[in-house]
Amino acid sequence: MGAAIKLRHTAGSEADLPADWPVSHDVVDLSQTRSGESAGSMKAAAEGSYDLHLILNGQCRPSLPRHARPIGAGHVFLRPAMQSGALNCSDDFECLVVRLPAETVNELCQAHGWIRPEGGAAFSTAPLRAEEWQRFLKLCELVREELESELASPEILHNYARVLTCKLIAALDQGCLNEEPDAQARCFARVVQFIEDNVRHDITAERLAHHAGLSVRSLYLLFEKQARMTPKAYIRKKKLEHVYTTLMDPASRVANVTAVALEFGFTHLGRFAELYRETFGILPSTSLKARHHNHSKVD
């Protein structure tokens, strides 16, 4: 093992990391990058692969208009490897780069409900805690030893690649949801408007998160803070409200309750009637009868 360098974390902890990087394999690459350098010391990036960066020293300013503030040691960010040119960073900048195949990133994003970045970067809103930092660097050292071993098997390296990806992507908050209440309220308002505009269609949490630029986890946190319910419950509530308005509106042309329920995506009619009664205290058929009664009075 080569000479070691001291990598200082902003929280005050230190870790030894070998200086004789990079090391490469078809499954995973590891490289150390300093100010003014790119990940060019690694082998050529395969199309669709990603570079996961852990900032070791200094600061880097992500090239995203919504997040102009620099991020520092302990932060993690992800970007397509084909875009990994020189970074806009401080003179003392240093980071660890983990290059991973697209299929590994995509598979884990799907399994854990993360939103895969489309053509841009994603990064953590807070640095890793000191203990996370130490565990991650130890894991990187284990991967490095396997990469340099003549006995390294693709199966073992694939498992290491999955663990590395999980630990790094879990630290990301792709939406970088600002902690300021006003920013959260604006984000929630955009999400609510999207639901209103698509209330007759099937809206999944994944689709909603993608529209908002958030991870699914961040979307759930947003709804918990702003609506005290899950996205699924909120969408269902809005659909029920639209059904109620339609059934009660004398001006709307309604053939029957079933037609309205299906229009707003309720295919299980028994469950729909139960939810409707729980929400409004009456059956949907009662709403329709009341609407006809009110309409005849007007006539």
| 265 pLDDT above the threshold of 80 | yes
How far is the C-alpha of 3 from the C-alpha of 34, rounded, in Å?
Answer: 17
Q: What is the CATH number of the domain that holds 128?
A: 2.60.120.10
| 139 pLDDT above the threshold of 90 | no
pLDDT on residue 127: 74
Q: Which residues are within 8 A (CB) of 127 and not within 5 positions of it... i.e. 6 or more apart?
A: 9, 10, 11, 72, 73, 74, 75, 133
Looking at the structure, do residues 21 and 158 belong to the same domain, yes or no?
yes
Looking at the structure, do residues 33 and 125 belong to the same domain, yes or no?
yes
Q: What is the mean pLDDT of residues 29-40?
A: 56
Which of the four pLDDT bands, split at 50, 70 and 90, describes residue 192? very high
Identify the CA nearest to 243 among candidates 208, 207, 269. Answer: 269
Question: In this structure, what DSSP letter does residue 51 have?
Answer: E
Chain CA centroid to CA 121, Å: 11
Last residue of a domain, one of 125, 142, 170: 170
Looking at the structure, do residues 75 and 151 belong to the same domain, yes or no?
yes
Which of the four pLDDT bands, split at 50, 70 and 90, describes residue 272? very high
Strand partners, 52: 78, 98
Phi, psi (rounded to 5 degrees) for 55: -75, 125
What's the burial of 220, exposed, middle or buried (CB within 10 Å: 0-12/13-18/19+)? Answer: middle
Looking at the structure, do residues 146 and 188 belong to the same domain, yes or no?
no
Mind listing the pLDDT tens digit for each residue in 95-106? Answer: 888 787 777 777
Looking at the structure, do residues 64 and 145 belong to the same domain, yes or no?
yes
User: Which has the minimum average pLDDT: 1-15, 24-38, 259-273?
Assistant: 1-15
Looking at the structure, do residues 156 and 12 belong to the same domain, yes or no?
yes
* Sign of the alpha-carbon dihedral angle for 103, 107, 110, 115: negative
Identify the CA nearest to 117 among candidates 168, 178, 56, 191. Answer: 168
Domain boundaries, position 196: 177-228
pLDDT on residue 144: 77
pLDDT on residue 155: 78
Overall number of domains in the chain: 3
Which of the four pLDDT bands, split at 50, 70 and 90, describes residue 299? very low
Q: What is the CATH number of the domain that holds 244?
A: 1.10.10.60
Looking at the structure, do residues 102 and 128 belong to the same domain, yes or no?
yes
Identify the CA nearest to 64 among candidates 151, 150, 172. Answer: 172
Last residue of a domain, one of 228, 248, 269: 228
Q: Which is more confident, 34 or 157?
A: 157
Give the end-to-end CA distance of the chain in Å, rounded to a whole number.
91
**pTM, full prediction:** 0.49
CA distances from 291 to 92, 117, 200, 265, 298 (A): 71, 48, 22, 22, 11
Looking at the structure, do residues 82 and 21 belong to the same domain, yes or no?
yes
Phi, psi (rounded to 5 degrees) for 32: -115, 130
Mind listing the pLDDT tens digit for each residue in 39-74? Answer: 444 455 556 678 888 888 888 876 654 555 777 888
Q: What is the mean pLDDT of residues 215-235?
A: 89
pLDDT on residue 84: 54
Q: How many residues does the chain have?
A: 299
Structure tokens at 7: 């990598």
Q: What is the mean pLDDT of residues 116-125?
A: 59
Last residue of a domain, one of 170, 189, 219: 170
Looking at the structure, do residues 157 and 81 belong to the same domain, yes or no?
yes
Looking at the structure, do residues 200 and 248 belong to the same domain, yes or no?
no
| 261 pLDDT above the threshold of 60 | yes
pLDDT on residue 186: 80
Residues above pLDDT 90, as percent of the chain:
15
Looking at the structure, do residues 189 and 109 belong to the same domain, yes or no?
no
Looking at the structure, do residues 166 and 275 belong to the same domain, yes or no?
no
